């Protein structure tokens, strides 16, 4: 059976909602964007406004729809792209849920197919959004570009599913940030009955809103090492991730011996320690700076290979990874359990 040209699928999480601020569970509830969320929506909207999309859809919940409208494209609102239905957990804080429903929380944390708050399980959500995705992809021509504005659980489930990562614990990809952009090339069979495989182009790119993904900053503050892979190129200007947000200022660079890498180290006023080749095992074992962060400048193909090997090791399907853009950033959280990609190929708009 021959294969059609891939469809580029762009997935965008909504801006921060009022429930995000208070740490309150939200599923089908319709919490609006917070003031910060409105600002985040404006930033991602500005970033996406000049892009061509053949179709743009969003969840019918206000936090996703308002974020979609900020990009300036006509939006098709669809209920099937809603967040997971959390039933009786809706509107409760995480502490309240843990106190009232400890057995459900334990089962959900262990990956059991429990219905959250008596409503949907993660398996139910996966089936719903994969059906929604297939419906959407059948509506457009081969080679089309489509965008979906949705929710963290929806996007994590969909990306994990098409890359064959859903059942792996711990997952090799981290939590989705507000207004983060993820992109995939999705391949359908000629009969358009199924997705044959997908190629990851970018994951959790919220560089328009955060210098480092929020989850990665949390993990670093908890004592884990953050490795930032910078895709080598002709020129590496001092990037936005060199700021102080979350106390993640880099104080050391380990890199290949390119002139661009040396120039970046000089611009950041940090040590330059060149190497010409390194295995994945050596890379993750490199010492971190006192802040718990290390920078590694590598050719784009080498970063794609590192990420691809990690994905394929975890996947039960034919996942593949596209090479990152020169100058883009990939943040990796390293823990005793392994390494998790907080984002992949993050590029600030205009860089």
Length of the chain counted residue by residue: 351
Judge contact between 320 and 162, C-beta under 8 A.
no
pLDDT tier, 14 (very low <50, low <70, confident <90, very high otherwise): very high
Q: Please give the Cα distance from 330 to 319 (Å, whole number).
A: 18
Average pLDDT over residues 203-225: 88
Domain 7-205 has CATH 3.40.50.1240: yes
pLDDT tens per residue, range 283-292: 877 777 777 7
Residue 126 has pLDDT above 90, yes or no: yes
Task: Let me know the angle formed at the C-alpha of 190 by 184 and 191, rounded to the nearest 5 degrees.
Answer: 110
Q: Position of tokens 């003031």? A: 35
Q: Let me know if the fold of 7-205 is the same as that of 214-341.
A: yes
> Mind telling me the catalytic residues?
14, 83
Give the mean pLDDT of the chain: 86
Pair of tokens at residue 137: 């992809």
Q: Where are the domains of the chain?
A: 7-205, 214-341
Question: Is the separation of the CB atoms in 145 and 8 below 8 Å?
Answer: yes
Q: What is the DSSP string of 109-159?
A: HTT--PPGGGS--HHHHHHHHHHHHHHHHHTS-TT-EEEEEE-HHHHHHHH
Contact between residue 44 and residue 209 where contact means Cβ atoms under 8 Å apart = yes
CATH topology of domain 214-341: Rossmann fold (3.40.50)
* The three-state (H, E, C) secondary structure of 69-117, written as one string: HCCCCCCEEEHHHCCCCCHHHCCCEHHHHHHHCHHHHHHHHCCCCCCHH
Task: Pick the closest to residue 318 from 185, 210, 207 (CA basis).
Answer: 185
Are the C-beta atoms of 179 and 208 separated by less than 8 Å?
A: yes
Rounded (5°) CA angle 81-136-68: 50
The whole model's pTM is what? 0.92
Model confidence at 277: pLDDT above 90: no
Chain-centre distance of CA 93, in angstroms?
A: 24
């Amino acid at each position: 059976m021959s294969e059609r040209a891939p469809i580029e699928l762009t997935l965008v999480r909504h801006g921060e909602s009022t429930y995000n601020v208070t740490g309150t569970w939200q599923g089908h509830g319709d919490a609006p964007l917070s003031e910060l969320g409105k600002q985040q929506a404006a930033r991602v909207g500005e970033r996406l406004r000049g892009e061509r999309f053949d179709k743009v859809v969003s969840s019918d919940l206000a936090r996703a729809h308002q974020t979609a409208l900020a990009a300036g494209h006509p939006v098709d609102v669809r209920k099937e792209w809603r967040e997971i239905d959390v039933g009786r957990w809706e509107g409760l804080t995480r502490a309240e849920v843990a106190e009232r429903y400890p057995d459900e929380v334990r089962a959900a944390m262990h990956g059991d197919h429990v219905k959250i708050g008596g409503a949907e399980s993660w398996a139910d959500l996966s089936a719903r959004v994969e059906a929604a995705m297939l419906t959407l992809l059948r509506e457009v021509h081969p080679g089309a570009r489509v965008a979906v504005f949705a929710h963290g659980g929806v996007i994590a489930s969909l990306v994990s599913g098409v890359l064959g990562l859903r059942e792996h614990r711990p997952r090799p990809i981290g939590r989705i940030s507000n207004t983060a952009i993820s992109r995939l090339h999705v391949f359908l069979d000629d009969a358009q009955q199924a997705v044959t495989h997908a190629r990851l182009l970018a994951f959790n790119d919220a560089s328009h809103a955060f210098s480092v993904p929020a989850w990665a900053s949390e993990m670093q503050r908890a004592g884990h090492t953050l490795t930032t892979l910078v895709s080598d190129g002709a020129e590496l200007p001092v990037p936005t991730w060199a700021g102080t947000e979350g106390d993640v200022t880099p104080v050391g660079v380990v890199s290949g011996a390119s002139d661009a890498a040396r120039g970046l180290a000089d611009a950041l006023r940090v040590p330059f320690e060149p190497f010409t080749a390194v295995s994945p095992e050596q890379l993750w074992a490199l010492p971190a700076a006192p802040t718990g962060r290390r920078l590694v400048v590598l050719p784009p193909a080498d970063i794609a290979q590192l990420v691809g090997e990690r994905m394929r090791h975890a996947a039960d399907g034919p996942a593949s990874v596209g090479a990152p853009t020169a100058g883009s950033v990939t943040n990796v959280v390293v823990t005793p359990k392994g390494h998790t990609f907080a984002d992949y190929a993050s590029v600030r708009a205009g860089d």
